[in-house]
Amino acid sequence: MLRVGIVGIGFMGKVHVMSFTDKPLIPNGTVKNAKLTAVCDIDTEKLEWAKGVIPELKIFTSFKEMLSSGEIDAVIVATPHYLHPIMGIEAIKQKIHVLLEKPVGVFTKNIEELNEISEENRDVTFGLLFNQRTNPLFIKAKEIIDADGVGTFKRVNWIITNWYRPQKYYDNGEWRATWAGEGGGVLINQAPHQIDMWQWLCGMPNKVRAYCKFGENRDVEVETDVTAYVEYPNGGNGVFITSTHDAPGTNRLEIIGNNGKIVIENDVLTYKKLLVPENELNLVATADLRDPKNTPQVEETIYTSKDLGEVPWGIEHALVIENWIDAIEGKDKLIAPGIEGIKALELINSMLLSTFLNKEIDLPIDKDVYYEELMKKCATSKYTKKWSI
């Protein structure tokens, strides 16, 4: 059985450790196709906790030592964000399969290097923990889009403001919500899941204009409130809104195209298929707005998470881990290939860069300019430790 290590035994690392036991934190969230053999953290209390859960675990305070110990074939990285690409590159170089927690990193400059090393080492499986890719509602939306059920996109709007985080959340870890510790706020920590889904379903825009508010309603350095307008190469557009201080928040995705419309809200997907595509309706519709010919005729289908086989948080993670292990063993394709992580990160970086420079940004972004701007923010950050392994 494949031997897995985990680095970073904090909030998420503990969820992953428990998923290798018969007492997962989320019922039925057990990973069955691999064995956890080692853990690593710089905090020895975390290692003692892990040993208490699985006494035969080998424990390490050095990531490099765990990689070269001969105790693991694969590693899950659940450390703070700046370490993800550094640890990913090191693991791949040592021919250890790697699954990085989201986001893939903080800035695209070093993710290009990570992806190049991954391309040069195709025998090493590099995955990302984008657990929302197992959400049946988004899988259904992708099926509809891939079958041309929405047609040419016109507009894609996502309001995801139910990532509520109080001040005490921000105060519970020194790396959190700082430029040098976390590398951003709601965009880099909470919303990467939706930003990945957004590009997974609709592709990448080519222009971004965003307004990020830093420390809005919370005493933090980074963005807690974002409104972004994007344009797609086909002329379609979209708006992405996210925050951590709206109460109650909203999670509503709307995708509209020439052939139909998808809305996902409150665990329900509503698909309205246009019986006559809009460009054809436009040709037959008349100037009389009361004319029934002008009303779009739709066939509506409603899918609920429950109907589609809901996958609760925690089980999503176990599914992604099991899929990564199957991919390592050549039994399946990755649900979330690591090299795709750069797309969500590019969107995140572009929204921040647009705000930093107060202008519209063309994609792909200039990675060096973003890095320079980020470093200026880091120079003002209250977090002063350096991230290295």
Ligand X SMILES: NC(=O)c1ccc[n+]([C@@H]2O[C@H](COP(=O)([O-])OP(=O)(O)OC[C@H]3O[C@@H](n4cnc5c(N)ncnc54)[C@H](O)[C@@H]3O)[C@@H](O)[C@H]2O)c1
- Binding footprint of ligand X on the chain (CB under 6 A): 7-13, 40-43, 46, 63, 78-81, 83, 101-102, 129, 131, 173, 189, 389
| Cβ nearer to ligand X, comparing 78 with 98 | 78
CB of 129 to ligand X, least distance (A): 5
CB of 43 to ligand X, least distance (A): 4
CB of 298 to ligand X, least distance (A): 35
CB of 56 to ligand X, least distance (A): 20
| Cβ nearer to ligand X, comparing 184 with 236 | 184
| Cβ nearer to ligand X, comparing 144 with 344 | 344
CB of 76 to ligand X, least distance (A): 10
| Cβ nearer to ligand X, comparing 7 with 226 | 7
218: DSSP letter: S
Written as one string, the DSSP assignment of 156-211 is EEEEE------HHHHHT-TTTT-TTTTSSSTTTTTTHHHHHHHHHHH---SEEEEE
C-alpha distances out from residue 317 to 27, 99, 164, 232, Å:
12, 11, 21, 31
| Cβ nearer to ligand X, comparing 78 with 335 | 78
| Cβ nearer to ligand X, comparing 140 with 165 | 165
C-alpha distances out from residue 26 to 20, 23, 31, 49, 336, Å:
12, 8, 12, 18, 21
Position closest to ligand X via CB: 10
Report yes or no: 104 and 81 within 8 Å, Cβ to Cβ: no
CB of 118 to ligand X, least distance (A): 18
**Where are the extended beta strands (E) located within 232-382?**
237-243, 251-257, 260-265, 268-274, 298-304, 361-362
Query: In terms of DSSP H, where are the helices of 210-363?
Result: 278-284, 305-308, 315-328, 341-357
Query: CB atoms < 10 A from the CB of 122, how many?
Result: 8
